[in-house]
C-alpha cells in the first residue's frame, strides 16, 4: 500500500521573533526499502524549502489520526482535501515541534533539548486550534516544569513577559 503524504506550508514568522539563519526542523527519517513501509523514529534536523518558505511533508494518516482539524481538511471536500496541501500562518519552530510530536509523542526542540517558553506557548495555542488535547496537555506540563525549574538555562524567568503577552493576545 503506497504511503499518502500531505504538505503543509508555513508562510509567516511571528513579528516578535528575531531572524533565524540556521533553521533546522524536526521531521522523521523514512526507511526506503522494498520490504519495509515503516518510519525510523530517529530525528533528523532538516528543512525542506522552496520559494514559499518552509514546508513539512507529513504522513496523512498520522496527522489526521491526531487532529480532527486536519482530518476534516484533508479528508473533506475542501481545497485541502483535493490538493492534499495546506498553508498555515503559524510559528515555524512551534510547528516543527508539533510535527516531531506527531511521530514520537515527545516534545523536544530542534536542538533535542526542552523547548523554550515562547515556542511552547505557541505550541499550546496551536494544539488548541488543531483540536489536539494530548499535545496541549504535554505542552502545558513542559511550561509548568520550566516555570518551576531552577536548572541553569532551563528556567523561563527571562521569557515570562513575552509569555504573558502571547497568552493575553490569545485570550482576546
DSSP 93-140: HHHHHHHHHHHHS----TTSSPPPHHHHHHHHHHHHHTT-HHHHHHHH
Average pLDDT of the chain to the nearest whole number? 74
- Residue 162's pLDDT band (cuts 50, 70, 90): confident
Number of domains in the chain: 1
Here the CATH number for the domain that contains residue 62 is: 3.30.710.10
User: Phi/psi at 108 (nearest 5 deg)?
Assistant: -140, 160
The whole domain housing 159 covers 5-171
The dihedral region occupied by 131, where left means phi > 0, alpha psi between -120 and 50, and beta the remainder, is: left
Q: What is the mean pLDDT of residues 115-137?
A: 93
Record the pTM.
0.69
Q: What is the mean pLDDT of residues 116-138?
A: 93
Amino acid at each position: 500500500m503506497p504511503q499518502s503524504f500531505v504538505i503543509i506550508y508555513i508562510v509567516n514568522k511571528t513579528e516578535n521573533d528575531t531572524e533565524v539563519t540556521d533553521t533546522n526542523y524536526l521531521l522523521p527519517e523514512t526507511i526506503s526499502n522494498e520490504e519495509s513501509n515503516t518510519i525510523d523514529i530517529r530525528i533528523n534536523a532538516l528543512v525542506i524549502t522552496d520559494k514559499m518558505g518552509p514546508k513539512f511533508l507529513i504522513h496523512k494518516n498520522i496527522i489526521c489520526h491526531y487532529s480532527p482539524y486536519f482530518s476534516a481538511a484533508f479528508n473533506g471536500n475542501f481545497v485541502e482535501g483535493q490538493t492534499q496541501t495546506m498553508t498555515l500562518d503559524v510559528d515555524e519552530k512551534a510547528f516543527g515541534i508539533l510535527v516531531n510530536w506527531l511521530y514520537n509523542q515527545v516534545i523536544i526542540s530542534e536542538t533535542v533539548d526542552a523547548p523554550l517558553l515562547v515556542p511552547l506557548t505557541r505550541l499550546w495555542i496551536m494544539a488548541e486550534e488543531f483540536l489536539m488535547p494530548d499535545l496541549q496537555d504535554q505542552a502545558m506540563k513542559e511550561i509548568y516544569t520550566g516555570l518551576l525549574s531552577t536548572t541553569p538555562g532551563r528556567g523561563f524567568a527571562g521569557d515570562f513577559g513575552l509569555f504573558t503577552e502571547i497568552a493575553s493576545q490569545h485570550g482576546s
